[in-house]
Amino acid sequence: MVLARRGMACTSHPLASLAAVESLRGGGNAIDAAVAATALLGVVEPFSTGIGGDCFMLVWSARERRLFGLNGSGRAPRRATVEALRAAGHTTMPMLGMASVTVPGAVDAWACALERFGKRSLAEALAPAIAYASEGFPATEVVSAQWAFGAGLLQTPGGKEAFAPPRLGAVTRLPELAHSLRQIAEGGPEILYRGALAERIIAFSDAHGGLLEAADLADHASTWVAPIATTYRGYTVHEIPPNGQGLAVLLALNILEQFDVGAESDPAVATHLRIEAVKLAYADRDRYLADPEIAPVPVEALLAQSYARGRAQTIRRDAAAVEVGPGAPLAGTDTVYLTTADAEGNVVSCINSLFFPFGSGMVVDGTGIALQNRAFGFSLDPRHPNCIGPGKRPFHTIIPAMICRDGRPVVSFGVMGGNVQAQAQVQVVSRLLDHGANIQEALDAPRFHYLDGRRVAVEGTFGPGVRQALTALGHEVQDEAAALPYGGFGGGQGIMIDPMTGAFWGGSDERKDGSAIGF
């Protein structure tokens, strides 16, 4: 871990962590630092995040002594209907191309967060990103490998030229992206949603058979939301409410709390119980999660302890469930995560994403803006609450988290990696609260990735004994490669706050290039 007293930033890239700390040292607060780091990650990890993606935040305001949620996810175009997609020949939601694009929400979210809680302007926050995009940065190990993979999903000649994958150590410049960031710094979000960049996005969409219209961009707005939460071992775990999958984390924790996981001497049994809890939570996630503005999600009923007890009773300690379905409560892939904290007591848990590497694979000509493919998260089944529809927000994988005790934040963390995010969060929380791990230990601990049915991929660091024991329990244990198309085993960042001294304990997942930096 990295320990510091006045400020801390943990991100998936050292340059982003440094930019955040420089913002803090220059008089900015945790919100300013988070936006600076997020924008820079869109430069140094452009396949994961950027202007064309979405952003979710949890913000602990020291002044108000309260946690706020910000949903910066974009909506489906007005013309996005089941009929329109079927008429275009789609029988399922397309993974790539303009039909998979939703309105990019990140820039508006950055501006909203700064306006409400920041000390610095958007232009100041974007300055490091503009500098590195213009002047260049060396490609790091994990980034260069993931960039090379993601480049294979780029769909247009302009995109392939703008984001040609760099070799390890190559100094990389992104002049088109630098120009777009500079325009936003000078003109604000208006440029992206109603100005020159909006015009280029719509023209590009029209040229490639997309559904976006000018009004889709012009009408976009982020939403301040009340976080949802549950208690686990006496701590309160907070998540962004649907349309994000944070609900699945809370469902799994409620189920897992019915077992004394910390007392299990056999790591295979503890892992089995976590897998089965996740399996049940994901069944509910896939059945109920949708945009609550369009299709009500029974959050309160799903998070009831009585519901968790009923779901937990279906778990067998001696055997893996073959198939699980959703319960019936009574009504009542690429991403960046970062967290920052400052001496005033502000804490930010932030995640920004294009979804797949380079999102839809569509890069708006001359802008360096890769458009996300979040519409892939919709269903084409009219009976499903997450069916695509005009102005609807899709099922979202990105989920920042925060753990509080006695009304104060004690851990701000998140794990990037598509489908694995919710189940990886469950594993991190369990390591922290069931086994007393510190944040670095919890992030580095071996992970599983539940796939479907009885299939579960496990990291080699579990060791052969755990793999064999899980197989004996009926799990179909897969090797690490099986998890890669679904987000692998993720990569997380986190800050623990010492309740006695207020010092920051920073952790950065060994699965990424990132670092924790404090002062």
The 3-class SS string of 18-64 reads: HHHHHHHHCCCCHHHHHHHHHHHHHHHCCCCCCCCCEEEEEEEECCC
Token pair, residue 484, equals: 């890669």
471 is catalytic: no
Percent over 90 (pLDDT), the chain: 90
- The answer to whether 402 and 388 have CB atoms below 8 angstroms apart is no
Check whether 89 has a pLDDT greater than 80. yes
Q: In angstroms, rounded to a whole number, what is the distance separating the alpha carbons of residues 379 and 304?
A: 27
Average pLDDT over residues 276-305: 92
- The answer to whether 505 and 496 have CB atoms below 8 angstroms apart is yes
Among 49, 333, 335, 340, the active-site one is: 335
Mean pLDDT is lowest, of 173-177, 339-343, 459-463, for 459-463
Segment 125-141, tens digit of pLDDT:
999 999 999 999 999 99
Check whether 329 has a pLDDT greater than 70. no
Sign of CA dihedral 449, 455, 460, 464: positive
Helical pair 175-187 and 122-135, crossing angle rounded to 10 deg: 160
Helices (H), 102-174: 106-117, 122-135, 141-151, 157-162
Q: What is the 3-state secondary structure (H, E, C) of 421-450?
A: HHHHHHHHHHHHHHHCCCHHHHHHCCCEEE
Q: What is the mean pLDDT of the chain?
A: 95
Q: Which domains does the chain have, with CATH numbers?
A: 16-224+357-377 (no CATH), 227-334+399-500 (1.10.246.130)
| CB neighbour class for 179 (10 Å; exposed up to 12, middle 13-18, buried from 19) | middle
The predicted structure's pLDDT at residue 325 = 79
The predicted structure's pLDDT at residue 335 = 80
The predicted structure's pLDDT at residue 419 = 87
Q: Residue 485: which pLDDT band, with cuts at 50, 70 and 90?
A: confident
User: Could you give the 3-state DSSP secondary structure of residue 206?
Assistant: helix
Average pLDDT over residues 333-342: 86
Please tell me the pTM assigned to this model. Answer: 0.94
The predicted structure's pLDDT at residue 333 = 60
Token pair, residue 117, equals: 């809680």
- The answer to whether 228 and 247 have CB atoms below 8 angstroms apart is yes
Angle (CA) 254-259-262 rounded to 5° is 105
The predicted structure's pLDDT at residue 484 = 84
Residue 241, number of CB atoms within 10 A of its CB? 18
Q: Residue 265: which pLDDT band, with cuts at 50, 70 and 90?
A: confident
Tokens 């839809």 sit on residue: 360
Helical pair 267-288 and 464-472, crossing angle rounded to 10 deg: 60
Q: In angstroms, rounded to a whole number, what is the distance separating the alpha carbons of residues 39 and 53?
A: 11
- The answer to whether 412 and 492 have CB atoms below 8 angstroms apart is no
DSSP structure class, residue 226 = P
Helix (H) or strand (E) holding 477: strand 476-478
193 or 417, higher pLDDT: 193
Q: In angstroms, rounded to a whole number, what is the distance separating the alpha carbons of residues 303 and 239?
A: 12
The strand pair at 137-138 and 171-172 is best described as: antiparallel
